[in-house]
């Protein structure tokens, strides 16, 4: 009987929370559920504290001249031959090549002079550290513009790297310019070496793990390690949480696990059940006071904290993110590199931001507001869900057609997170009552 009543309470609380997320006022909630206004307020306020990261996301659609990230793809080349690479060995649909200092300078001038605030610059590839001359130039030029007063806010500089080329020279550069890193590693050496290897077929784990430990010792970097979860993990009975635990336990670094994407179906997941299971494991670790921080779940929780403000767009591509390829071509995101349909213009064009193509494509992404378009506008999760529009495009061929499998995953994960939050709150209340009884 007690279990039944608890389940009823959990479902009621979940319904109230979802209605709140979707914009119902406290008064409306009180009337709909025949509850005292103070009780409704208490429930809502229990998750109302806004996170700093979420507040930044709101700026994307606020109309101010702010972008969250400028991605500079400085290398159409890579020193690894990862089996699932969606970027054709780092070349995308172009030839092997590197961004020049001239293109890098014009790219920085174009964006930093137009936008009042570029929060971050991400160096990308291919493998960006193959173009160290331009990495160094970008870091020095951003510093120079800031010191001269040409920009009022200095962007944070980061790079996404496979971790092979970390050396003393690069570590010195990181220290001098406060560069942050994301390193790619798919988990233990067995699974990582089966997917991420040098061009002679040798696994990259030994080199990469040694360099991660060097970074931790010298700089407490990388800021995060990204793992691409693929069919090899499933075949080796390695769960998403196994990967998270391996990374955190061995390197003390945040683990970001994403599903494999791209054209090679040999490595794609048949379903996303392992990501759903990870939610249960995360909350179990929380209750055991052995909590593993996992960005996919944390992002949902942070967005729930925002409540009514929520996230209007699936991701900031074309609105708060832009990517520049090695020849200066501008795209809504690096996932669209060399896609003619998504070419917004070129940094060589002084009128880039007022050009017809830039405005047209920006509006395409702006019009994908989840509060307006079908089927998102009818979905309970619309204020909370997020995802990679580039991944949807690769799967469906359109930014207007969502991936059913990923949508289902988002909804099921959000519902699971909400249920777990409510259960934790109920258990906390029981503990407080027990303590008072004593």
- Asked whether residue 145 falls in the same domain as residue 255, the answer is yes
Give the phi and the psi of residue 274 in degrees, each rounded to 5: -65, -30
Burial class (CB in 10 A: 0-12, 13-18, 19+), 378: exposed
Between the alpha carbon of residue 35 and those of residues 105, 244, 281, 431, the distances in Å are: 60, 41, 33, 24
The pLDDT value recorded for residue 224 is 95
- Where would I find the beta strands (DSSP E) of 65-116? 66-73, 75-76, 97-98
Shared-domain flag, residues 98 and 175: yes
* Sign of CA pseudo-dihedral 190, 194, 199, 202: positive
Q: What is the pLDDT of residues 124-135, one digit of tens each?
A: 999 999 999 999
d(CA 148, CA 31): 59
* Confidence check: pLDDT of 158 > 80: yes
Tokens of 82: 């990862």
Are 390 and 258 members of one domain?
yes
Q: ∠393-380-47 over CA atoms, to 5°? A: 110
pLDDT band at 13 (very low <50, low <70, confident <90, very high): low
3-state secondary structure 214-281: HHHHHHCCCCEEEEEECHHHHHCCCCHHHHHHHHHHHHCCEEEEEECCCCCHHHCCCCCHHHHHHHHH
Sheet holding 224-229, edge to edge: 254-259, 224-229, 180-184, 156-161, 117-124, 66-73, 321-324, 329-331, 345-346
Lowest mean pLDDT among 222-226, 230-234, 304-308, 357-361: 304-308
| Predicted pLDDT at 410 | 86
pLDDT of residue 253: 92
Q: Identify which has the larger pLDDT, 31 or 79.
A: 79
pTM: 0.82
264-297, pLDDT tens digit by residue?
Answer: 677 888 888 999 899 888 888 776 666 677 677 7
What average pLDDT does the segment 218-238 reach? 95
Residues 6 or more apart from 73 whose CB is under 8 A from it? 99, 124, 125, 126, 323, 324, 325, 326, 334, 337
**Cα-Cα end-to-end distance for the chain:** 25
C-alpha–C-alpha distance, residues 333 and 345, integer Å: 13
Residues 23, 59, single domain; the answer is no
Q: State the pLDDT at residue 111.
A: 98
**Same domain? 422 vs 297:** yes
Query: What per-residue confidence (pLDDT) applies to 2?
Result: 37
On whether both 177 and 42 belong to a single domain, the answer is no
Query: Where do the DSSP E strands lie in 299-365?
Result: 321-324, 329-331, 345-346
Same domain, 266 and 388: yes
Q: Could you give the 3-state DSSP secondary structure of residue 152?
A: coil
**Which residues does residue 72 pair with via DSSP β-bridges, in sequence order?**
123, 324
Q: What is the CA radius of gyration of the chain?
A: 23
pLDDT level of residue 241 (50, 70, 90 thresholds)? very high
Residues 21 and 58 in one domain: no
**Does the pLDDT at position 58 exceed 50?**
no
Per-residue CA distances from 229 to 243, 261, 283, 355, 396 (Å): 9, 9, 20, 39, 21
Mark 382-394 as b/e (b = at least 16 C-beta within 10 Å): bbbbbebbbbbbb
Q: Is the pLDDT at 48 greater than 80, yes or no?
A: no
Give the model's pLDDT for residue 53: 40
Same-domain check for residues 141 and 13: no
Percent over 90 (pLDDT), the chain: 54
Residue 247 shares a structural domain with residue 362 = yes
Q: Which domain holds residue 1?
A: 1-46
What is the average pLDDT across 331-355?
97
In the predicted model, is pLDDT for residue 340 greater than 90? yes
Q: Are 377 and 313 in contact (CB under 8 A)?
A: no
Q: What is the CATH number of the domain that holds 428?
A: 3.20.20.70
The rounded distance, in Å, linking the Cα atoms of 410 and 29 is 25
User: Are the C-beta atoms of 186 and 228 separated by less than 8 Å?
Assistant: yes
Give the pLDDT confidence of 171-215 residue by residue, as tens digits.
999 999 999 999 999 999 999 999 999 999 999 999 999 999 999
- Do 231 and 289 lie in a common domain? yes
Query: Residues 54, 2: one domain?
Result: no
Mean pLDDT of the chain: 85
Quote the number of domains for the chain.
2
Instruction: Please compute the mean of the pLDDT values over residues 337-357 and round it to a whole number.
Output: 97
| pLDDT band per the 50, 70, 90 thresholds, residue 22 | low
């Amino acid at each position: 009987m007690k279990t039944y009543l608890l389940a009823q309470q959990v479902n009621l609380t979940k319904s109230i929370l979802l209605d709140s997320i979707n914009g119902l006022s406290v008064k409306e909630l009180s009337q709909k559920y025949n509850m005292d206004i103070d009780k409704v307020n208490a429930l809502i306020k229990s998750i109302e504290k806004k996170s700093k990261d979420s507040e930044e996301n709101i700026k994307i659609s606020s109309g101010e001249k702010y972008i969250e990230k400028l991605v500079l793809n400085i290398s159409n080349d890579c020193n690894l031959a990862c089996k699932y690479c969606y970027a054709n060995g780092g070349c995308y649909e172009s030839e092997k090549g590197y961004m020049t200092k001239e293109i890098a300078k014009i790219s920085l001038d174009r964006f930093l002079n137009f936008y009042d605030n570029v929060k971050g610059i991400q160096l990308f590839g291919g493998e960006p550290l193959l173009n160290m001359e331009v990495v160094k130039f970008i870091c020095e030029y951003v510093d120079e513009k800031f010191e001269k007063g040409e920009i009022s806010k200095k962007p944070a500089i980061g790079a996404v790297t496979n971790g092979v080329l970390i050396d003393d020279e690069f570590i010195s550069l990181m220290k001098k310019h406060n560069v942050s890193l994301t390193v790619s590693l798919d988990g233990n050496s067995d699974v990582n070496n089966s997917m991420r290897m040098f061009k002679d077929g040798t696994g990259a784990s030994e080199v990469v793990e040694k360099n991660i430990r060097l970074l931790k010792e010298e700089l407490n970097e990388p800021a995060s390690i990204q793992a691409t979860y693929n069919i090899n993990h499933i075949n080796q009975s390695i769960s998403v949480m196994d990967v998270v635990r391996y990374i955190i336990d061995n390197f003390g670094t945040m683990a970001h696990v994403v599903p494999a994407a791209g054209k090679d179906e040999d490595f794609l997941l048949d379903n996303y059940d392992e990501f759903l299971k990870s939610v249960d494991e995360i909350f179990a670790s929380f209750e055991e006071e052995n909590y593993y921080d996992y960005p996919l779940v944390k992002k949902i929780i942070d967005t729930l904290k925002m409540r009514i403000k929520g996230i209007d767009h699936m991701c900031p591509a074309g609105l708060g993110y832009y990517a520049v390829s090695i020849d200066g071509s501008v795209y809504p995101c690096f996932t669209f590199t060399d896609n003619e349909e998504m070419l917004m213009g070129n940094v060589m064009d002084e009128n880039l931001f007022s050009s017809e193509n830039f405005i047209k494509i920006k509006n395409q992404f702006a019009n994908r507001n989840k509060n307006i378009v079908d089927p998102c506008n009818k979905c309970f999760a619309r204020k909370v869900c997020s995802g990679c529009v580039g991944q949807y495009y690769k799967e469906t061929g359109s930014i207007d057609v969502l991936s059913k499998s990923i949508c289902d995953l988002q909804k099921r994960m959000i519902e699971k997170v909400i249920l777990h939050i409510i259960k934790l709150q109920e258990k906390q209340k029981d503990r407080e009552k027990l303590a008072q009884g004593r």
